[in-house]
Amino acid sequence: MAPVPVRRSAVHLHPDPRRVIVKSFLPGGRNPDDDRTRVEHILDRVLAMEPADVARTLDEVRTRFDLRHDDLDAVLDVGLRAVAHLLADRPALDADIRALVGAYFVHEYAIEAAALTNPSLVPAPDQTGVPDGSLRVIVSLRAIGEGHLSSIEFRGGTVDRDGEVTLDPPLAPVQGERRPPTFEGALFAAKLHEAGATDEPIPSILARLGEHFSMRELESALAEFAADHRSPATQHAVQTIHWLAASNYELAFPPASHVSQRVIFPASPAESHGMEDARFVRFEDPDGAVTHYATYTAYDGFNVLPQLVETVDFATFRIATLNGPAARNKGMALFPRQIGDRYVALGRADNENTYVMYSDHVRFWHEAARIQVPTRPWELVQIGNCGPPIETPEGWLVVTHGVGPMRTYSLGAILLALDDPRQVLGHLRDPLLVPDEHERDGYVPNVVYSCGSIVHADRLVLAYGASDSSTRFASVPLDVLLAELTSPAASAPSTAAYTAR
């Protein structure tokens, strides 16, 4: 058969170093002469400044940064709050010196200075006012900044009846409020057990808590237990519980903010070195309730850990750990609904093949069945999904990626049975999309990669990253793609050569 026609969009997102968020800036280390921290020494030097120097320096800060932020005083307050505990025993400070202290302990961070890539695409929760034939969408993006630190960004836009994507101009990021969630005792204990934390102190600590508890109640129980039991086992148990609790949190943004202003920046120990490749899906419960989930890879500098984002409005997000022997490695993607009263996901537990996973709880994954191994020349190194499956009359359409010669990443597709996605009905013989000459060069050359696509107006609309540097869009006639996936050629291995398209 002829290759499936792919139409690339003219929309091309590039990283913009002008997009910044503000973070506290606390230089590490101690002075060897007095064992005081660098932060304490910096604070002493700032507080010793002459009033004229304070006024002049603060005026320079306001001149340079006022137009870069909607509320510079709120920015400076981020730095002030970061060292507030060191000011508690000092005399009250006037407004200018407090603002200047804040300026020394805050900095701008360019969230996408290095790359803006690996997108997923979902329908927006609010479709009011959308032109006939169009669909409002939200694009999630992996933004990579200084130190190769990845966060999750968003863009809003529409897809028209011809599959063409139009994106809203992004607005300046705003601060989100991080909140600790309410924990479920049984679920928290199960997560600790899955993490291998079964030492004796842990059940004794959890016994002090109720069926539901807050972070404050957890902190109090930990402090009381540690005071009564001073041992290495207790210290290890407290550290483990702290790690798990800190890896679960909520992040809320002003409801009036635009989705492009909301940035999910790493905030827990598990994601201290980045949040990679969020795969968002519009999930519909059996009762019709809709939640947008995203699985993403948390990286702490040594280990990767699948995590889960939950949101109903893309303004408030809950971040939670995923557990179970099947929840490992990169690339989990949830199906958009339950199948047979169970949650279902795709994954790559062994870093090479595709697995279907089943669970009775969206955060616990124990069962996995291998459904696909690399067979095509363009995927012999490894394969994996490129986002959540899409339900079609012919089956579950899954955009995939394969790694072939010269570590070239290509996009392909498979088709799974609706009632039993362990059955692979079709597997594209040739790639759907490979890097063209305008996409080959970047942070990681020769790569096209996606974290999620949608079907709209009988077209598959692809959002994909180009060489881990930028983001592009393309569309494919759905009927042609499904015809190819249900053809005899899609059911047998192929050794055909492939060309860019």
Q: Note the pLDDT tens digit of each residue in 271-283.
A: 888 999 999 999 9
pLDDT at residue 496 above 70? no
Which ranges of 200-348 would DSSP assign to H, the alpha helix? 201-206, 215-228, 232-246
SS3 222: helix
User: What one-character DSSP code corresponds to residue 146?
Assistant: G
pLDDT at residue 206 above 90? no
Query: What pLDDT was estimated at residue 192?
Result: 82
Q: Which of 262, 84, 83 is nearest to 178 (CA)?
A: 262
Q: What is the pLDDT confidence band of residue 499, given thresholds at 50, 70 and 90?
A: very low
pLDDT at residue 444 above 50? yes
Q: What is the DSSP string of 197-219?
A: ---THHHHHHTTS-SEE-HHHHH
- Dihedral class, residue 468 (left if φ above 0, else alpha if ψ from -120 to 50, else beta): left
Is residue 138 a contact partner of residue 122, using CB atoms and an 8 Å limit?
yes
User: What one-character DSSP code corresponds to residue 368?
Assistant: E
**Tokens 């201290």 appear where?**
272
Higher-scoring residue by pLDDT: 295, 2: 295
Q: Which of 247, 182, 248 is nearest to 216 (CA)?
A: 182
pLDDT at residue 426 above 70? yes
Query: How far is 449 from 339, CA to CA, in rounded Å?
Result: 27
For 7-16+111-177+248-491, the fitting CATH number among 3.30.70.270, 3.20.20.30, 1.10.150.120, 2.115.10.20 is: 2.115.10.20
Residue 16 CB-half CA count within 13 A: 13
Encoding tokens for residue 92? 């009250």
**Domain coordinates in residue numbering, the chain:** 7-16+111-177+248-491, 20-110, 182-246
- The shares of helix, strand and coil residues in the chain, as percent rounded to the nearest 5, are 25, 35, 40
Higher-scoring residue by pLDDT: 26, 194: 26
**Tokens 């999910």 appear where?**
264
One-letter amino acid identity for 304? V
Residue 454 β-bridge partners: 461
Q: Which of 460, 453, 501 is nearest to 477 (CA)?
A: 460
Query: What pLDDT was estimated at residue 198?
Result: 65
Query: What pLDDT was estimated at residue 196?
Result: 67
pLDDT at residue 254 above 80? yes
Q: How many CB atoms lie within 10 A of CB 314?
A: 19
Query: How far is 345 from 295, CA to CA, in rounded Å?
Result: 10
pLDDT at residue 184 above 50? yes
Provide the mean pLDDT of the chain.
91
pLDDT at residue 2 above 70? no
Encoding tokens for residue 381? 């190194």
Instruction: Tell me the average pLDDT across 155-159.
Output: 98
In angstroms, how far apart are the furthest CA atoms of the chain?
A: 82
Instruction: Tell me the average pLDDT across 337-356.
Output: 94
For 378-411, how does the pLDDT look when each residue is reduced to its tens digit (9 = 90+)?
Answer: 999 999 999 999 999 999 999 999 999 999 999 9
Q: What is the pLDDT confidence band of residue 491, given thresholds at 50, 70 and 90?
A: confident
Q: What is the pLDDT confidence band of residue 428, given thresholds at 50, 70 and 90?
A: very high
Encoding tokens for residue 286? 């059996």
Query: What pLDDT was estimated at residue 116?
Result: 97
Query: What pLDDT was estimated at residue 323?
Result: 83
Query: What percent of the chain has a predicted confidence (pLDDT) above 90?
Result: 70
Residue 61 β-bridge partners: none
Instruction: Tell me the average pLDDT across 73-87.
Output: 95
Cα torsion angle, 325, 330, 334, 335, sign = negative
Instruction: Tell me the average pLDDT across 436-460.
Output: 96
- The secondary element (H helix, E strand) that includes residue 470 is strand 470-477
pLDDT at residue 500 above 50? no
Instruction: Tell me the average pLDDT across 199-204.
Output: 79
Query: What percent of the chain has a predicted confidence (pLDDT) above 70?
Result: 96
Q: What is the pLDDT confidence band of residue 501, given thresholds at 50, 70 and 90?
A: very low
Q: What is the DSSP string of 380-418?
A: SSEEEESSS-EEETTEEEEEEEEE-GGG-EEEEEEEE-S
Q: What is the pLDDT confidence band of residue 141, given thresholds at 50, 70 and 90?
A: very high
Q: Which of 428, 432, 400 is nearest to 5 (CA)?
A: 432
Q: How far is CA 107 from CA 20, 22, 100, 133, in A?
A: 10, 6, 13, 44
Is residue 206 a contact partner of residue 185, using CB atoms and an 8 Å limit?
yes
Query: How far is 264 from 137, CA to CA, in rounded Å?
Result: 18
pLDDT at residue 477 above 60? yes
Higher-scoring residue by pLDDT: 495, 348: 348
Query: How far is 225 from 220, CA to CA, in rounded Å?
Result: 9
* Reported pTM: 0.90
Residue 136 β-bridge partners: 158
For 222-239, how does the pLDDT look when each residue is reduced to its tens digit (9 = 90+)?
Answer: 888 888 777 787 787 888
pLDDT at residue 329 above 80? no
pLDDT at residue 425 above 70? yes
